[in-house]
Amino acid sequence: MLKIFNLPDLGEGLTESELLTWKVSVGDPVKVNDVLAEVETAKAVVELSSPFDGTIAELHGESGTVVQVGAPIVSFDLPGDEPGESPHPGPDAGSGALPDGRVPTLVGYGAAAEGAGRPARRTRVGRPATPHPAPSGPPAGSPVAAATGAAAPATSTLTAERPRSTPPVRRLAKDLGIDLSEVQGTGSGGVVTREDVQQAAEGAGPASGAGVEAAQDPGVRTLGGRPRIQEEPIRSVRKATAAAMTASAFTAPHVTEFLTVDVTESMELLEDLKRHRDFRELKLTPLTLVARAACLALERTPELNARWDGDHGRIVRQNYVNLGIAAATPRGLMVPNIADAQALDLRGLAGRLAELTRVAREGGLQPGHLSGGTFTLTNVGVFGVDAGTPIINPGEAGILALGQVRRTPWEYRGEIALRQVMTLSLSFDHRLVDGEQGSRFLADVGAVLSRPGMALALF
């Protein structure tokens, strides 16, 4: 019996996932909870497990395909029934049948399956909606057709089936001016692939604009020796990051302030701590000290740790700090957070920062690491940058960027000396934070970094 497994909601109402790699092939036997594939959501890479014991009958999609939640992803042949039997319970099905003919998924029941074999394909806009496919009838010219007067169905563009392809491939075809109905698909089941579209575009020859640009002298050196034009799909993390940053930039009125600080004493403190027996195994960096200073400063300016709830007409004050750390990972920009950072001392913060960094680099961040942040730090200094205007993480009131530490001529005790200097950049939501509060927070962080001993006097 054929069973269709629909992509489940993998957490927090996500609507789609990108298929990264298949772990099975057609014909493979599988058991319940065997890993079928790795899929990437906007928040994490997740292993998709089998809900059935059976044999893989069909894989609905190739690596790189974006699959909507509730859409078919795998078909199984299950033991116990004759091949070709309908996967849907009939009207006389017993109480054990699934409601509405839906097939089980790992989370809920997913979307209703529309056919016993392959899933029904989406039709063009304007195609008449019919609850069931019309019977095909006998072939035109056959004795049966002649006897019954049946005519062969007419073909029109309105009722023609759209060529099977993925959204990124359709987007590429649109950009290149390629009509997918004229492209022969070479993918599984006749799916039109990116390579099919690119070959169709090359065969058509250059027209104007980008096409003319791409057809120029192939001997001209390009950047890095790469092709003149390269395209890649907008993947889950990049898509989510773009949506979040756009929403933040055009919803929260951003204000950015800067403060340049002499951090020589802080850098000397770090060197002393690295030699101390309690810190030898830990990685101590300027980010560790800024994290501790920010938690202390939020004690005096809780407005920077609040949340704007416009839907309910209120400001939510959070008396704890889930400290987000903006991180460049193999999957793109992500902001995992340290829960209850306000309760950690410098040693505890150093340990949690090291653990988060390791998990992020290994690509092991899970949705729980990425939700619930209240304030964010971003370290642009590791890239040799002095300052910037960071965009606030959605749902938060502020973000603090720390620039590189550089040796700079600086006034020190009435004379000019080479000192280690850092620029701090604070962006805050002006709905929640007034200029006075933002300035006071920035000054408090700077005071701790310029003279670490001030933490004992101020907090």
What letter represents residue 23's amino acid?
Answer: K
CA dist., res. 432 & res. 307, Å (int)? 8
CA–CA gap between residue 394 and residue 374 (Å, rounded): 10
180: nearest Cα among 155, 201, 210: 201
Burial 252-281 (b: 16+ CB within 10 A, else e): bebbbeebebbbbbbbebbeebeeeeebee
User: Tokens 């309105």 correspond to what residue?
Assistant: 158
The residues, ordered by sequence, that sit 6+ positions from 15 with a Cβ below 8 Å of its Cβ are: 68, 69
**Measured distance CA(271)–CA(404) in Å, rounded:** 17
Instruction: Specify whether 430 is catalytic.
Output: yes
Tokens 């209240």 label which residue?
374
The H helix count followed by the E strand count for the chain is: 11, 19
In the set 88, 132, 312, 430, the catalytic residue is 430
d(CA 100, CA 114): 11
Contact present, 112 and 37 (Cβ < 8 Å): no
Q: Work out the burial of residue 163: count CB atoms within 10 Å of its CB; fewer than 13 is exposed, 13-18 middle, 19 or more buried.
A: buried
Residues designated as active site: 430
